[in-house]
Amino acid sequence: MAVGVQIDELGLWFEDEEPETLTNRQNAWNHLVFSVWPWEGAEGFDATRWRLIHHRDLESDRNSARHRVQQLEARAEKQRAELDGR
């Protein structure tokens, strides 16, 4: 019941789709998720619903994926260079 009140409060404070608002909404949701994790595994706990949000929107998700790919490519290039130098 306490979580339900918090969810209702989130809806009142985060009404627009500005990037800062989306980030604040994401942070508030993730804090809420942390507060319900002690019930994970209990009857009625919906693990699909109570999950952390890692990206506030599709663009943020794409940027993160691009960054991960660039890091993997750089790491692979470094490993190739090390192997070539042997």
Kindly list the domain boundaries of the chain, sorted by start residue: 1-53, 55-86
The pLDDT score that the predictor gives to residue 13 is 64
All residues at 6 or more sequence positions from 15 whose CB lies less than 8 Å from its CB, including other chains? 21
The pTM of this model reads: 0.58
pLDDT in tens, 51-85: 898 887 788 889 989 999 999 999 999 999 989 88
